Amino acid sequence: MPTQNPLLEKTHLPLFHAIQPQHIVPAITYLIKRNSQEIAKLLKQPQFTWENLMTPLTLLNEELNFVWATIRHLQTVMDTKELRQAYLKVLPQVSRYFTQLQQNLKFYRAIKTLAHQPLNPIQRKIIKDLMLDFRLHGIELKPQQQKKLRHLQQKLLTLTNQFAHHVLDATNEWYYLATAQEISGIPPNDLSLAQKAAHALKKKGWLFTLDAPSYLAVITYANSRTLRKKLYTAYITRASELGNPRYDNRKIMREILKTRVTLAKLLGFKNYAALSLATKMLHQPQRVISFLKNLVRATKKTAQREYQELAAFAKRDSIKHLQPWDIAHYSEKLRHHKYHLAQEELRAYFPLAQVLTGMFKIAQRLFGITIKEQKEFSRWHRDVRLFKIYTKTRKLAGEFYTDLYARKNKQSGAWMERVRSRMRNAKIIITPAAYLNCNFTPPINGHSLLTHEEVQTLFHEFGHCLQHLLTQIDYPEVSGINGVPCDAVELPSQLLENWTWEPSSVKLVARHYQTHKTLSPQLQQQLYRSQKFQAGLKMLRQLEFALFDLTLHLTNHPQVQKTLNTVRRQVRIVPWTKFDRMPNSFLHIFADDYAAGYYSYKWAEVMAVDVFSQFKHQGIFNSKIGTKFLNTILTTGGSADALELFKRFCGRVPKITALLKHYGIRKT
């Protein structure tokens, strides 16, 4: 065992302050070698039981998973040249280890013997999932085919990482120095940050980047149409041939799609969509297509009316033809006109400290939990915080880190990831932990103020954390978010967003950062009414992404831009440009687990609205309904079939009717 390696220390949470890139390769190499040797010994036993096979195997893999999760996390939030090199060096080793385990014939036969033994329902679910994993990793293939499969999987890992790194590098590289004549309309806080960014580079003016807070400030508020177009063009052409050719993702996308097709066919599937859906709730591609197209048909007329309203409003500023760089700008103006409500006006009422306090109070009232901040712990950045969650009986349920501000060398977007999963080791319960990552505007003059959209994002990711941390399942394979299908795992996160709109819950979250006053009843009602603003256009945008993703993976000779344009002609209402290269930075499907699964957000939202309708009917803080959701969904993880759990809560299968009603969309 390597000495003085913080990645191998037996700690519950990582020793981030001590971890260096040079620790990565020795730690992973040691763990994989040790695990492989120990597994070989386990498989030599004359007879197998859960206790002599699955229990020790789980302990071995959870230790590796913990270290690997730490490395992956650091690479996404604190990327450096040295860290990236070390990460990419061990990535094939980790992939090869898990693939070989799932192609191990002795392990497969051992698991089959367990399937015929007396097991509890959770153990049976784990065995069922394992048997599917064996099939999807080629256990039925000949040795040469298995070797080819391993090669394809490692190739995919390399390609998807290259894709993500190109997006990050292209985003980090670009900036624009605006002059005083160009910055009209941009809020003072955003201008202050832009000026500081310029000073940091010893330049004059206002420096804007493609990081979310900076980009959104310009595209939403800048009165200069030229400036909006400049940033929009840079953003929508990231990692393409129209930007820095070093980061062009076209070839990588083609290779990813080609490799996925080859992999799917090798495993006996018609296309990659069929392979991806084998582990999801909806299973069949046609069911997903039908679901998405039904929503398109139901939504399109509403979206058309919304777009006509927006276009007519923009004509007041002599905008005869709306362009993509006009949509966010005039949508925000129209929102203010209709509801006398502006995102920037609301920002003053959403200081991060109050939002967190209110969010925790809402969770306490719904689920009986208590959340307390831990002050002393090992950080990877000074902005990181750590919180502990306690159950009704004051037992520690789990912990989560927050890393909420945008910065250079941090992956864009917002996401939750596992630190470790809940499990039982002998008589000891190892509690779970999670990362909650966002890219909000950094504090200005000591104040971190969120837009309402950012508040929704925070609630969304917190919903993921709750599912992972409140689990009562002691088997890590299916505890927390583990073993939950991709199209079911978004249910808690989508559900929790609803509390960012309701007047009685907004009171807990919103408090002016200077006067400490809550939103007036009038503002609360205006916010509530605005929930349906451009609901049709927003719905179509998500449906466009989902249909593009699925269509792309249904064909065995995919052409990215052609597929996108075909889908857009069927779905899109708002204009797009010939230079639009959105797919080149579409991380969800080219660098994440949502390939042929982006529809999951809409499917989960259907379920979330169904669930929330019970709260609406019986009280949004109804602890009885909250406890039912806690016990049915949040604590159960992947220990039972996702559809059965939903039916256990709602008493029926999901329907799109509640979703359409929720957003005021009349089904046609």
Share the mean pLDDT of the chain. 96
Average pLDDT over residues 352-367: 98
Return the pLDDT at 427.
84
Q: Does residue 217 surpass a pLDDT of 70?
A: yes
247-347+535-598: CATH topology is Neurolysin; domain 3 (1.10.1370)
Tens-digit pLDDT profile for residues 486-509: 999 999 999 999 999 999 999 999
Return the pLDDT at 3.
77
CATH superfamily label, 6-140: Endopeptidase. Chain P; domain 1 (1.20.1050.40)
Per-residue pLDDT band for 618 (boundaries 50, 70, 90) equals very high
From the candidates 182, 306, 454, 461, give the one annotated as an active-site residue.
461
Q: Which residue has the tokens 């604590």?
A: 635
Q: Does residue 97 surpass a pLDDT of 80?
A: yes
Q: Which class is 352-518+601-662 in CATH?
A: mainly alpha
Among 263, 86, 69, 247, which Cα is nearest to 169's?
A: 247
Q: Where are the domains of the chain?
A: 6-140, 174-238, 247-347+535-598, 352-518+601-662
Q: Does residue 84 surpass a pLDDT of 90?
A: yes
DSSP line for 249-315: -HHHHHHHHHHHHHHHHHTT-SSHHHHHHTTSSS-SHHHHHHHHHHHHHHHHHHHHHHHHHHHHHHG
Report the percent of the chain where pLDDT is more than 70.
100
Average pLDDT over residues 546-552: 97
End-to-end CA separation in angstroms for the chain: 66
* 3-class secondary-structure state, position 374: strand
Average pLDDT over residues 450-458: 96
Dihedral Cα 287, 288, 293, 295, nearest 10 deg: 110
Question: Do residues 496 and 466 lie in contact, with contact meaning Cβ atoms separated by under 8 Å?
Answer: yes
**Are domains 6-140 and 247-347+535-598 of this chain identical in fold?**
no
Average pLDDT over residues 520-532: 92
Return the pLDDT at 667.
66
Here the tokens at position 43 are: 């498989």
Average pLDDT over residues 552-578: 94
Per-residue pLDDT band for 202 (boundaries 50, 70, 90) equals very high
DSSP count for the chain of H helices, then E strands: 26, 9
373 is catalytic: no
Average pLDDT over residues 221-236: 98
Average pLDDT over residues 631-651: 96
Q: Does residue 644 surpass a pLDDT of 80?
A: yes
Among 163, 157, 156, 175, which Cα is nearest to 247's?
A: 163
d(CA 586, CA 545): 9
Per-residue pLDDT band for 188 (boundaries 50, 70, 90) equals very high
Return the pLDDT at 150.
94
Return the pLDDT at 1.
77
Tens-digit pLDDT profile for residues 7-62: 999 999 999 999 999 999 999 999 999 999 999 999 999 999 999 999 999 999 99
List Cβ neighbours of 318 (8 Å cut-off, separation of 6 or more).
none
DSSP line for 409-439: TS-SS-EEEEEE--EEETTEEE--EEEEEEE
d(CA 222, CA 184): 6
- How many C-beta atoms surround the C-beta of residue 394 within 10 A? 7
Partners of residue 386 on adjacent β-strands: 374, 401
Return the pLDDT at 341.
86
CA atoms within 13 A on the CB side of 320: 0
Q: Does residue 327 surpass a pLDDT of 60?
A: yes
Please state, in angstroms and as integers, the Cα–Cα distance from residue 136 to each residue in 151, 184, 266, 584, following that order: 15, 55, 10, 28
Tens-digit pLDDT profile for residues 310-326: 999 999 999 999 999 99
Return the pLDDT at 641.
95
d(CA 505, CA 524): 10
Q: Does residue 510 surpass a pLDDT of 70?
A: yes
d(CA 70, CA 64): 10
Report the percent of the chain where pLDDT is more than 90.
94
Return the pLDDT at 359.
98
Return the pLDDT at 666.
76
Return the pLDDT at 668.
57
